[in-house]
Each structure stands twice: as C-alpha cells, then as structure tokens.
Amino acid sequence: MPDRPRLPEHVTLPLLTLVTAQSLDGDYQHVADRKRASGEAVSEPRTLRNAAIIVGIFGLMTAIAFVQTERNAAASEAGREQLIASISQERTALEKRQARIGDLREETLSLSDDVRRVAEAESSAKTNLLGIRGVSGFAPVTGPGVRVKVDDAPDGSANGQVRDEDLALVVDGLWAAGAEAISINGHRLTPLTGIRNVGVAVHIKAQPLKPPYLIEAIGDPDTLQSLYVESSPGTQFMSVANQFGFRLDMDNARTLNLSGSTSPRLRSAQVHQKKKSEKDMEVRP
C-alpha cells in the first residue's frame, strides 16, 4: 500500500506556531532583502528555534496566568462561602432577636393589662374606703337633711337642763329615721363616739358642749322628720321635752356639710388581713 503524501507545514503546525513563524519569517526576509541590496552579508535566520522560544515563553505566561486565575478563583470561592456563612449566622441571630422582641412585646402587653387591673382595683378600693369612712363618720360628707336645735328650759331649773341621755334619745331617733350622718355642735358622731355628762356639762369626745345643742343629720328631708317622730326614741324625747320644758326646733335643710371625725389610733386591735389564695394571686392573661 503506497505511503500517504506528507501534509504541508501550514496544515500540521499549530496555528500559534504557524502565525509566529510566518510573521518572523516575513520580518527576517524583509531584513535580508535590505542587507542584500546594500551589499551586506546575510545570515540564515533561525526561525524554528526562535519560534519555539517564543511559544515556550507564551506558554509559560499562559500557565502562570492559569495558575493565578485558579488561585484567585479558589480564594474568591472561599470568601464567598465565608460570606454566605456569615450572612446565615446574622440571619439566625436576627430571627432570635425578633422572636425575643415578640416575647417582650407580649409580656409588656400582659403587664400593661395587669397594671390597668391593679389601677382599677385600687380606684375601686379607694372609693369603697371613702364610702366606708363616710358612713362610719371619719370622712366629710355633704347632702340634704334636717337641723334640730335643742335647748334648756327657759326657767333655768335643774330639771330643765338637757342631759346626755336626752341628746342620746334625739340621736337614736334620727338614726332610726334613716339618718346617714349626724353631728352635734360640729362634732361628727362615729360608732366610737360617746355622749356623757361630766357634772352638769355634756361632753362629746371629752369635749364639753354648751347649749343650745345644734344637731345636724343628713338624710331624706321628706321623711326624716316624720319617721323621727314615729320612732320609739323620738317619742320618748318628745315626752321628756314636754315634761321638763325643753325647747325643740326641727327644720329641713337643703345642704348640710359635716366634717369627718379624726381616725382613732388602734392600740390593742390589729387589722385582720385575709390571705390571698393561689387562685386569687394568679394573673389572668
């Protein structure tokens, strides 16, 4: 079988080698023609060796560039992975903070509700306490009622002097008629108030009183007088007043202002505080 013909160099040589060689051959040929024209000696070009050197240098540079590119790519990939990991960590931390903020917001709302309930309970307790103090005589009160003026008999006799039991009958009759607050000569009566005679003088809270005795009672002015007259203490006082000549005047009053009595200091008694059960101590959400 006959041998196949050898292909020309421009077919078998690499494109880069061929381009470089042809370029260098053209340059050397141009220089050689100039030297021949001027009569100088022309040396044979070393085309292939020079081309190989150039190709080698170019290949080395290409290899160096490739290695450097690979290193840069590896460094970039490592930095990218580190950046992704850092972003993931920050995102996780942010989610935890947001969850904590949500918990704190719910806790704040719950505490705000507790504060509101406590404030409402405190306001209600203060209102109840004020009402209790008003009923018991330790807080000032105002309202309509009656004024009762009781004085000794005009004859100035000993039997005609109003005594402590006489004033007690008037007070008891007014309580029975529905009075809500009573004072005598500006002294507010309380459950602890005693009306006592010391000698010939009537004393309230160890304070002596002088006639005439002005008794002010807050209550319904439309019924207070009639119910007083119908009460047993009122009937008894009217009988005593007629017998000994006491002077008695009773009039309705549109507005009465009674001061509060001074709260007593407890020496032996102690306020009993009911212990809260676990159910009472629970805070509703």
Q: Domain limits of the chain? A: 9-38, 142-258
Q: Are 154 and 247 in contact, with CB atoms under 8 Å apart?
A: yes
pLDDT for 220: 93
The side-by-side arrangement of strands in the sheet containing 201-204 is 195-198, 201-204, 207-209
The side-by-side arrangement of strands in the sheet containing 247-258 is 187-188, 181-184, 213-218, 141-151, 247-258
Find the DSSP H helices in 137-223: 164-176
Find the DSSP H helices in 137-231: 164-176, 224-230
Residues in the chain: 285
pLDDT for 274: 62
pLDDT for 42: 46
pLDDT for 126: 76
10-residue stretch averages of pLDDT, the chain, 285 residues long: 55 52 53 61 55 74 74 69 83 88 88 88 77 72 94 87 91 93 91 79 84 93 92 93 92 91 71 57 41
pLDDT for 225: 92
pLDDT for 198: 78
- How many Å apart are CA 263 and CA 147, to the nearest integer? 25
Regarding the domain with residue range 142-258, which homologous superfamily does it belong to in the CATH classification?
A: Protein of unknown function DUF881 (3.30.70.1880)
pLDDT for 282: 46
